[in-house]
Structure 1
Amino acid sequence: MIKLEHVKKLYKAKQGNIVAVDDVNVEIQQGEIFGVIGYSGAGKSSLIRLLNQLEKPTSGTVTIAGRVISSIRGKELRLARQEIGMIFQHFNLLWSRTVRENIAFPLEIAGVSKEERLKRVDELVKLVGLEGREDAYPSELSGGQKQRVGIARALANNPKVLLCDEATSALDPETTDSILELLLTINKSLGLTIVLITHEMHVIQKICHRVAVMEKGKIVELGNVLNVFRHPKQDITKRFVQQLTGEEGTEESLEQFAKKYPGGCIVKLTFVGEKAEQPLVTHLIRHFQVDVSILQGKISPTAQGAYGTLVIHLVGAQAEIEKATTYIRNQEVELEVITNE
């Protein structure tokens, strides 16, 4: 559906060229929710703007639905952009227009008849949950409602791709979740390909199928969201995952615990899917001569299923601890020994 090949974007500056996107190669499948995450300056905003050609690549090609969009100009490009919707962090609504008029605006530009515009706007108002607010102005709407208008407007021309540029960064957590649920519904009901950039791992975790981690203009890690959660390779990816799983500072605190309570074994367990819901600790206590202390634990839902981590302290005879850890591994639970004294 979307293919970037050796894409590079340079910006000229007094101090020399700035490399915003550096030799990016990635393919995004039809109907996929693809996340791009990185800190400020990573190049993710430049990358998403290359997809609708608000920015032209310095080199490389961008292909969408079989069309090399990076090589077209003029009317052909304007028509191609109608197949690519975009929603923004700060909504970018027309403040002098009502909800209905904002949603209809792309249809006016495309030359759609008034009758067809009204019909399409009504469909979109219902889709995004804004019934009864059609005649309100942006100043009369909450942040979440404004973003729903932005989403409806982006869908007006029945695009094949929806680009989300930090679409939830200006919203509170509860509203963020409601907007993410709406995007998930749109993806499932319309089969729409969604590319979403963010600096929040919660957003990736909630709805994305795959994620690309960007740093200094490069994609440094790419994969299925659940796999990236389970086995982050790069330091930057580990920091994002730790922020979400609550594991920041874990290593230091566990070292302090081990010094205060010497003996036994501290292990980290990783659960995926239904395994995250099994009463593993209860089984350990009932079947093995070990004492079990829970030091830390959390379950995080992802688009591919639940992902859970649990750090426990096992105390008992070495033979019993070995039996317990063998049992854990036989339950298809990943086990990492952190300390063993």
Structure 2
Amino acid sequence: MITLSKIAKVFNTKDGEVKAVDNIDLTIDKGEIFGVIGYSGAGKSTLIRLLNMLEAPTSGTVEVAGKSMHTLSRQKLRAARQEIGMIFQHFNLLWSRTVAENIAFPLEIKGVSKTEQKERVNELIKLVGLEGRGGSYPSQLSGGQKQRVGIARALANNPQVLLCDEATSALDPKTTDSILDLLVDINKKLGLTIVLITHEMHVIRKICHRVAVMESGKIVEQGDVLDIFRRPKQEMTKEFVKQVTEPEETEEALKHLLDKEGIGHVLQLTFVGGDTQRPLITDIVRKFDVNISILQGKISQTQHGSYGSLFISLSGEEKLITDVVDYIKSQQVEVEVIHSA
């Protein structure tokens, strides 16, 4: 569906050249939700704008839905962009237009008849859960409702691709989750390919099938979300994964526990998929003469299954501790000793 080959974007500034996107190769499959994550300045916003040619590449090629975007004339590019919807962090709505009029705007530009416009707008208002708000103005809507208008407008021309530029960054956590649920629903109902950029791993974890991690204009790591959670390789990726698996409150709680005397050996167990349902702790208690305490634990859902992280304390004979660690590994559960007694 989307293929980037040796794509680069260089900006000329007073301070010299800035390479925002640096020689990236990337393929995104039809119908998948693909995430691009990175901190500010990583180049992710520039990358997503290259997909619909809001930014022209300095070098390399961009193909979307079988079209070589970088070679199209202005007229053909305008037509190609109708197959690529985009939603933004700050909604970009027309404040003097109602919800229905905002959604209809792309259809007006395309020259669709008033009757067809009304029919399509009603379909989209229902799809995004805004029944009864078609006559409202953006100033009368909550942040989540504004973003739903933005999504409906982006879908007006039946695009094949939806680009999301930090689409939930301005929203509170509960509203963010509702918008992410809507995007998953749209992806399943319409078979739409969704590309989103974010700096929040929670967003990636919740809805993406695959993810690319960007740093200094380059993709430093990419893969299936569950694999990235299970075995992050780069330090940048590990930082993002910790946002979900070891949030700040977990880290503080563990530091407090590790300062206590008699805490024993502290192990971090990582469960993936069906492993999260297994009675591993019960099995250890039955098989080994050790004392075991659960310190902290969390299970998160991804599009490909569950991911769990559990911190336990073990005390007992040194040989038995080693045997327990070996047993955990034999059960295909990853384990790391993060503190020794």
Interval containing the TM-score (normalised by the shorter chain): over 0.9
Residue 42 of structure 2 is aligned to residue 42 of structure 1? yes
Aligned residues of 1:220 and 1:234 also touching (Cα < 8 A) = yes
Which residues of structure 2 form unaligned runs of 5+? none
Matched, 1:121 2:121: yes
Alignment of 1:84-123 (within 5 A): 84-123=84-123
- Counterpart residue number, 1:53: 53
Asked whether the 8 Å contact 1:31–1:194 carries over to 2, the reply is yes
Deviation at 1:192, TM superposition (A): 0.3
Partners of 2:247 and 2:187 in 1: CA distance: 31
- After superposition, the Cα gap between the structure-2 partners of 1:263 and 1:141, relative to the gap in structure 1 and judged at 3 Å, is closer
Return 5+ residue gaps in structure 1 as ranges: none
Aligned partner letter, 2:142: S
Equivalence for 1:190: 190
Separation (CA, whole Å) in 2 of partners of 1:244 and 1:272: 14
Counterpart CA distance in 1 for 2:141 and 2:119 is 23
Matches within 5 A, 1:1-341: 1-246=1-246, 260-261=260-261, 264-340=264-340
Change (3 A) 1:151 1:258: closer
Conserved 8 A contact 1:89-1:167: yes
Query: Which deviates the most, 303-312 or 138-147?
Result: 303-312
Change over 3 Å in CA distance of 1:174–1:318 after alignment to 2: same
Distance 1:263 1:106, change over 3 A: closer
Deviation per CA, 1:81-108: give whole Å up to 9, x if none. Answer: 0000000000001111111111011011
Q: Secondary structure at the match of 2:125?
A: helix
SS at match of 1:221: strand
User: How many angstroms does 1:251 deviate by?
Assistant: 8.3
Contact 2:263–2:313 at 8 Å: present in 1 too? no
Give me the whole-angstrom Cα distance separating, in 2, the residues matched to 1:202 and 1:296.
19
1:119-140 CA-to-partner distances (Å, cap 9, x unmatched) read 1111111100000001101111
1:289 to partner: Cα distance: 0.6
Counterpart-to-counterpart distance in 1, 2:102 and 2:91: 11
Q: CA 1:263 to 1:122, structure 2 compared with 1: closer, same or farther past 3 Å?
A: closer
Deviation at 1:6, TM superposition (A): 0.6
Aligned-residue offset at 1:273: 1.4
Q: CA deviation at 1:165?
A: 0.3
Aligned CA-pair RMSD: 1.9
* Cα distance in 2, alignment partners of residues 44 and 59 from structure 1: 17
Shift of 1:71: 1.4
Give the 3-state SS of the residue equivalent to 1:50 in structure 2: helix
| Residues in 1 aligned to 2:100 and 2:254: alpha-carbon distance in whole angstroms | 56
1:50-70 deviations in Å (ceiling 9; x for gaps): 001000000000001111101
**Residues in 2 aligned to 1:256 and 1:74: alpha-carbon distance in whole angstroms:** 61
Query: How far apart are the structure 2 equivalents of 1:259 and 1:146?
Result: 47
Paired amino acid for 1:173:
P
Cα pair 2:34 2:210 within 8 Å, conserved: yes
Whole-angstrom distance in 1 between the partners of 2:79 and 2:247: 47
| Cα distance in 2 for residues equivalent to 1:122 and 1:324 | 60
Please tell me the residue identity of whatever aligns with 1:15.
Answer: D
- Tell me which amino acid in the other structure corresponds to 2:279: P
Sequence identity percentage? 65
Contact preservation (8 Å) 2:165, 2:198: yes
Q: Distance in 2 between matches of 1:204 and 1:99?
A: 29
1:239 is paired with a residue of what secondary structure? helix
**Compared with structure 1, are the counterparts of its residues 86 and 255 closer, same or farther at alpha carbon in structure 2 (3 Å cutoff)?**
closer
User: Does the Cα contact within 8 Å between 1:124 and 1:156 map onto a contact in 2?
Assistant: yes
TM-score by length of structure 1 reads 0.95
Amino acid aligned to 2:283: H
Deviations 1:180-222 (A, max 9, x none): 0000000011110000000111100000001111111111111
Task: Report Cα offsets for 1:207-246 as digits up to 9, x if no partner.
Answer: 0001111111111111111111111111111111112212
**Which deviates further from its counterpart, 232-241 or 283-292?**
283-292
Asked if 2 retains the 8 angstrom alpha-carbon contact of 1:263 and 1:340, the reply is no
Q: 1:335 to 1:239 in 2, by over 3 A?
A: same
Deviations 1:130-161 (A, max 9, x none): 00001101111110000000000000000000
Q: Is the 8 A contact 2:202 2:243 kept in 1?
A: no
**Equivalent pairs, count:** 341
CA shift, 1:264, in A, is: 4.7
Work out whether residues 69 and 77 of structure 1, in 8 Å CA contact, stay in contact via their aligned partners in 2. yes
